[in-house]
Amino acid sequence: MDVVHVTHEAIEKIGGIGTVIEGLCSAKGYQALSGRTVLFGPYWEMDHPLEHSFEGGEMLYHSREKRDGKWGDVFAPIEAEFGVDVIYGHRILREPYAGAEAEAEVLLLDVRGMNPEPVNAAKAILWETYGIPSDRHEAVWDYEQFVRLGAAGLSALRAIGIAAGEKTVILAHEFMGMPTALLAKQDDPETIRTIFYAHEVASVRPVVEKHPGHDTMFYAAMEAATAEGKTLAEVFPEVEDNFKHPLVAASHYCDGIFAVGHYVQKELHFLDPTFPSDRITLSYNALASEELTPAQREKSATALRDYSKRILGLSPTWIFTHVARPVLSKGIWRDFGVLHELDARLGERGETAVFYILGTLGGVRSKAQVEEMAAAYGWPANHVEGYPDVCNGEEGISVLCEAFNASHHNIRAVLVNQWGWSAKALGAAAGEMTIEDLREGADVEFGMSVYEPFGISPLEPLTYGAICVVSNVCGCVGLIEASGAETVPNVLIGDFLLPESGKPLRECLECTTSDRDAVEAVELARLAGELDLRLPRTQADRDAILSAGYALAHRMNWDTLVAERIAPALKRLWTE
């Protein structure tokens, strides 16, 4: 069978979907099952030449650059009928840790100047067949461009020989892929099968983020509402205003659904209780499983301590990290709650720590900008509001770091509002470090999110012997439990949900910030105490936790998960 991945990350990784596609497509079970793999998505302007995104492959055709060959004749009818520009080629997908590779075709459509007739016809089908009201959301470009993509999608795919008689699976990655999947299914239900790849439930995320009770409120409310027979829209009618909601709600029309976490599965049933359970596959994301020797790990840890000494004047006992965009859903204030409780404990032992938060909302700063900030006021140990330093929402985390550092003596918090971990990203003080040093040398990685459908990043350092502290609403917890490894020393799970189940829905919805604070205070103190006990303070403990982390990660790699979960679900599409 041929597989089409409909995604906005067809040539550029923006978030976790690109990482998932790399791991999935390079897995042995996927390659054995699939024929051609096509990454299909909209074209969007980049800050570098488009050819660079085809690294390892080749851009064969670009309508505006008139790269013809045989492809000019192939795509000319598509361009004329739909008023789109076409980009076509192939690229190599590389799983970044194991190094496995796969080749994928890339088909992009620039839909900005698209003819209105086929778009309106597509919107009519989406409304009449699937109840999707495009007129309510067509002013939102993030909605409109994917409807346009779907309108031309099947014709463009057939131009390159996809879905032209061969069995074809369309994987709709998130709401973005739904118009293409639904319209293609409507056109050719015999040849085409469709799967909604639920990397999250987009209707739910803003509800959790905007309510002061966050996850503490929502998951108790979901349990209570389900018991009372109420749906998401009945309890939280504001979801109807979310342009993503009708597309996600229509995913039950797909032939299958891949849910990346156990709560994603529950959220889908809360969204629509008619979602058939036998068509939802728990298709957890996978982890890197790279084995390090104690000496290799210590080399990276030493590099991190030396860097800390250069920018802070402190060579810490421990390195704590949180690699994530500094947004509300990541629950970064919870990290500081654990650190507050831990600070005195470390002091009693004569130990110190540095906590690095690596993530940006302000884009990539140039090497010249980084060097200038470092020379002027000691960035990233110190910050100034305004670009090129903290901006676009980074200010809140910067304030948290400053307040924490002013009142604690044994742990220092540093916001690195940049992507990357090298001299180019951090300035000369970084020496020869790379991002691998940050992952391989960290002792603790935090990830106590309020909404985290899976959470690859919080478990990335697991294979290198780090202790990963996550919240129980993270989808990765389901994978940990399915692997029979929830008691390993490398994983510490926080529970920030309301302590009593079975509360009436009304009480759950009344959860305030103070109620959540009270739950968090108790749990953060518990986590700090447990983390203090688990930190490896002898060589034997360090060796043991390194070995345990790799063993656990190895049970959760892409080859294993594809073989056990994804490949069987793909096969069932043609047998049921």
235 domain residue, yes or no:
no
Asked if 185 and 310 sit in the same domain, the reply is: no
Q: Are residues 190 and 337 in the same domain?
A: no
d(CA 291, CA 286): 16
Q: Is 447 helix (H, G, I), strand (E, B) or coil?
A: strand
Assign residue 402 a region (left: φ > 0; alpha: ψ between -120 and 50; beta: otherwise).
alpha
Residue 195 bridge partners (DSSP)? 171, 256
Q: Which long-range contacts (CB under 8 A, 24 or more apart) does 484-488 make?
A: 485/552, 485/555, 488/548, 488/549, 488/552
* Of 290, 292, 297, residue with least CA distance to 442: 297
Round to whole Å and give the CA distance between 38 and 5. 6
**Stretch 557-561: mean pLDDT, rounded?**
89
| AA identity, residue 326 | P
Residue partners of 395: CB distance under 8 A and separation at least 6: 385
For residues 396 and 545, state if they share a domain: yes
Tell me how far apart the alpha carbons of residues 175 and 343 are, in angstroms, rounded to a whole number: 43
Do 191 and 298 belong together in one domain? no
Give the separation between CA 279 and CA 269, rounded to whole angstroms.
12
CATH value at residue 319: 3.40.50.2000
Domain boundary, last residue among 173, 199, 225: 199
- Total of domains in the chain: 2
What's residue 533's pLDDT? 97
Boundary (domain end) residue, out of 137, 165, 199: 199
Q: How far is CA 102 from CA 30, 91, 361, 561, in A?
A: 10, 9, 31, 17
Per-residue pLDDT, 97:
67
> 432: how many CB neighbours lie within 10 A of its CB?
8
State whether residue 257 is helix, strand or coil: strand
Task: Write out the E strands in 246-358.
Answer: 256-259, 280-282, 318-323, 353-358
Shared domain for 344 and 479, answered yes or no, is yes
Mind listing the pLDDT tens digit for each residue in 162-197? Answer: 988 889 999 999 999 999 999 999 998 889 999 999
Residues 53, 166 within the same domain: yes
What CA–CA distance (Å, rounded) separates 283 from 564?
A: 9
Q: Taking all residues of the chain, what is their mean pLDDT, rounded to a whole number?
A: 93
DSSP 566: I
pLDDT, one tens digit per residue, over 231-270 is 999 999 999 999 999 999 999 999 999 999 999 999 999 9
> pLDDT-based confidence at 289, cuts 50/70/90?
confident
Q: From CA 316, how far away is CA 347, in angstroms rounded?
A: 12
What pLDDT is stored for residue 183 in this prediction? 97
3-class secondary-structure state, position 32 = helix
Both 195 and 301 in one domain: the answer is no
Q: Which domain holds residue 310?
A: 294-494+536-559
End position of a domain, from candidates 176, 199, 222: 199
User: pLDDT tens digit string along 336-349?
Assistant: 999 999 999 999 99
Q: Is residue 38 part of a domain?
A: yes
pTM: 0.93
Q: What is the mean pLDDT of residues 292-313?
A: 97
Residue 536, judged by CB atoms within 10 A of its CB (0-12, 13-18, 19+), counts as: middle
